[in-house]
């Protein structure tokens, strides 16, 4: 394995750092590396072709007072596969905030758990002023370019999907909604090439929904009026509709008026789901009500007769009790899946009657569900989700949910080994929904190393068919995506990707 250092970030984190989310599995990286023709344990399938991209919260400066793990700077990792070989890169996303703080040599923005007044740049809410837009939440591929996003609405930063060079921000030919930005999880329809998105803010109408076509043109953008400021995190879509939400976990209005952002769950208020035609107007929105909860992540949605079938993770306790623990235990209880109890859940929204039917799909606590991307907006049978270490925001296992039979197939990464969100990569010429591979990056605390694991999606419990060794133990991360080589410009030519794996 040939390893080259691409760059280093200037870090001011203390050498004796003891923060629980900046040490151990969350130890941040400061060095950017590339590794060509990586060492592989086992045998990489030759019909695995494309890149696994994963975003990471990776801090380089301490907080002004209290650090929250979502405050870290965006760092993207890529593992590329072609002809049975693999390459690796990791690069910081060159956001405006990252560059400004590198120049200043100190933090310039207050974090999620800090007083907004501590931000000398504070002019608004979220990443539009109150917080640094770290672009550290999700990553997708649209129009041949990797896009990174931020969970409280920000810019979409454009990256080369093989070199991870930052290419600037999405502009959409001058129509990007810069006053509000884009929320954490824009959605790609792999059949049309369209990207669907929403944003939200503290100003009426509080939410917007939009569509960007396959050529990066903003072709649709409408208001989605809400009763007040809300905290939606994710959305879903079908072939003909988009589904947005108004959940009863939101900022306390009285605190918000005082400039404080305190989220509270209101169990007396129902969940509301908005169904809008993909190119529909505000007047076309049809609202459905359901049991009170909070859904951090949706899995997928599809049409079945008069109904929209919507799958997501229903939190049984969206606001766990604070208790008498340490400040970290109180603050990070919203990161503990064991406490919040997300369960795979199904909502059936009848477009003719306006009624909602709900059912629990499993009693297993899982989250961060992924599917075969070709089934996005279409009927799906399988969901690949993560189990979490109790008390921590760490993924310690993988579950394949068969939604037709109710069968579950489990795989544990082992004690002290933690994975990223696991993407499904259809094999070249695949003929079935689970005909492909599962790909994830692990942080192994026992051996002080990281690997990219490749599993057979049809035989999850058998464990990895191949392990790609990475040049450094990487910080634990979350969201990821799979991009087939066919979606990457120049992938079939002698480009950087080909050079990296020795072609």
Enumerate the domain spans of the chain: 2-500
Is a pLDDT exceeding 70 seen at residue 123? Answer: no
Question: Is the separation of the CB atoms in 81 and 484 below 8 Å?
Answer: no
Spatial distance between the Cα atoms of 122 and 306, rounded to a whole number of angstroms? 47
Question: Residue 411, Cβ neighbours under 10 Å: how many?
Answer: 22
**Eight-state DSSP code of residue 443:** E
Q: Beta strands of 278-379 (E only): which ranges?
A: 286-290, 298-304, 307-315, 342-350, 356-365, 367-370
Is a pLDDT exceeding 90 seen at residue 324? Answer: no
pLDDT, mean of residues 51-67 = 94
Is the CA virtual torsion 253, 254, 260, 262 positive or negative? negative
Q: Which of 17-21, 123-127, 259-263, 348-352 has the highest mean pLDDT?
A: 348-352
- H or E element at residue 483: strand 480-484
pLDDT, mean of residues 55-73 = 92
pLDDT confidence of residue 325: 66
pLDDT confidence of residue 501: 44
pLDDT, mean of residues 415-419 = 97
Is a pLDDT exceeding 90 seen at residue 323? Answer: no
Give phi and psi for 338, each to the nearest 5.
Answer: -65, -35
Model confidence pLDDT, tens digit, residues 159-204: 999 999 999 999 999 999 999 999 999 999 999 999 999 999 999 9
Is a pLDDT exceeding 70 seen at residue 127? Answer: no
Residue 51 token pair:
């890149």
Q: How many helices (H) and strands (E) does the chain have?
A: 5, 34
pLDDT confidence of residue 126: 57
From residue 465, how far is each of 18, 161, 437, 441, 454 by CA, in Å?
36, 25, 9, 14, 6
Contacts of 99 (CB under 8 A, 6+ apart): none
pLDDT, mean of residues 102-129 = 72
From residue 112, how far is each of 133, 289, 296, 395, 460 by CA, in Å?
11, 30, 17, 22, 37
Contacts of 59 (CB under 8 A, 6+ apart): 13, 22, 28, 67, 71, 72, 73
pTM for this predicted structure: 0.95
Among residues 146, 147, 148, 117, the alpha carbon closest in space to that of 131 is found at 117
Model confidence pLDDT, tens digit, residues 477-503: 999 999 999 999 999 764 555 454 444
**Percent of the chain scoring above 90 in pLDDT:** 83
Peptide bond just before 205 cis, omega within 30 deg: yes
Token match 């709900």: residue? 358
Q: For 2-500, CATH number?
A: 2.120.10.30
Looking at every residue in the chain, the average pLDDT score rounds to 93
Side-chain half-sphere CA neighbours of 219 within 13 A? 14
Spatial distance between the Cα atoms of 378 and 20, rounded to a whole number of angstroms? 40
Residue 233 token pair:
């995190």
Q: How far is CA 462 from the centre of its chain?
A: 26
Contacts of 254 (CB under 8 A, 6+ apart): none
Is a pLDDT exceeding 50 seen at residue 205? Answer: yes
Among residues 114, 116, 156, 119, the alpha carbon closest in space to that of 135 is found at 156
pLDDT, mean of residues 343-348 = 98
Residue 440 token pair:
């994830």
């Amino acid at each position: 394995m040939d390893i080259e250092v691409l760059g280093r970030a200037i870090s001011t984190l203390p050498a004796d750092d003891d923060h629980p989310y900046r040490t151990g599995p969350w130890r941040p990286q400061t060095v950017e590396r590339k590794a060509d023709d990586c060492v592989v344990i086992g045998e990489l399938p030759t019909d695995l072709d494309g890149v696994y991209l994963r975003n990471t919260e990776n801090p380089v400066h301490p907080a002004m007072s209290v650090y929250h793990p979502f405050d870290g700077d965006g760092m993207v990792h890529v593992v590329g596969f072609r002809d049975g070989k693999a390459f690796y890169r990791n690069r910081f996303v060159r956001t405006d905030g990252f560059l400004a703080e590198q120049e200043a040599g100190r933090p310039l923005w207050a974090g999620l758990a800090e007083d907004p007044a501590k931000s000398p740049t504070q002019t608004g809410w979220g990443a539009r002023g109150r917080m640094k837009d770290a672009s550290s939440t999700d990553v997708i591929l649209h129009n041949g370019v990797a896009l990174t996003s931020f969970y409280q609405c920000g810019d979409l930063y454009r990256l080369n999907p093989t070199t991870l060079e930052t290419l600037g921000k999405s502009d959409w030919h001058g129509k990007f909604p810069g006053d509000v930005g884009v929320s954490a999880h824009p959605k790609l329809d792999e059949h049309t090439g369209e990207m669907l998105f929403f944003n939200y803010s503290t100003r009426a109408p509080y939410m917007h929904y939009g569509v960007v076509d396959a050529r990066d043109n903003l072709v649709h953008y409408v208001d989605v009026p809400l009763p007040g400021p809300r905290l939606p995190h994710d959305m879903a879509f079908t072939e003909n509709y988009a589904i947005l939400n108004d959940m009863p976990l939101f900022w306390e209005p009285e605190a918000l008026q005082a400039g404080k952002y305190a989220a509270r769950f209101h169990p007396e208020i129902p969940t509301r789901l908005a169904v809008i035609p993909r190119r529909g107007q505000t007047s076309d929105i049809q609202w459905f009500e359901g049991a009170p909860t909070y859904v951090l992540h949706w899995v997928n949605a599809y049409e079945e007769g008069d109904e929209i079938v919507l799958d997501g993770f229903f939190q049984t306790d969206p606001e766990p009790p604070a208790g008498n623990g340490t400040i970290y235990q109180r603050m990070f209880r919203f990161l503990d899946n064991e406490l919040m109890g997300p369960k795979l859940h199904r909502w059936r929204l009848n477009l003719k009657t306006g009624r909602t039917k709900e059912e629990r799909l499993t009693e297993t606590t899982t989250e961060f569900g992924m599917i075969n991307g070709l089934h996005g907006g279409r009927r799906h049978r399988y969901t690949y989700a993560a189990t979490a270490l109790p008390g921590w925001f760490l993924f310690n296992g993988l579950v394949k949910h068969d939604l037709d039979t109710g069968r579950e197939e489990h795989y544990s990464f082992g004690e002290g080994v933690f994975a990223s969100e696991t993407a499904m990569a259809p094999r070249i010429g695949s003929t079935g929904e689970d005909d492909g591979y599962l790909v994830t990056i692990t942080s192994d605390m026992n051996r002080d190393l990281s690997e990219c694991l490749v599993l057979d999606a049809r035989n999850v419990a058998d464990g990895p068919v191949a392990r790609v060794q990475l040049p450094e133990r990487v910080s634990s991360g979350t969201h990821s995506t799979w991009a087939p080589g066919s979606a990457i410009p120049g992938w079939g030519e002698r480009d950087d990707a080909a050079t990296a794996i020795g072609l």
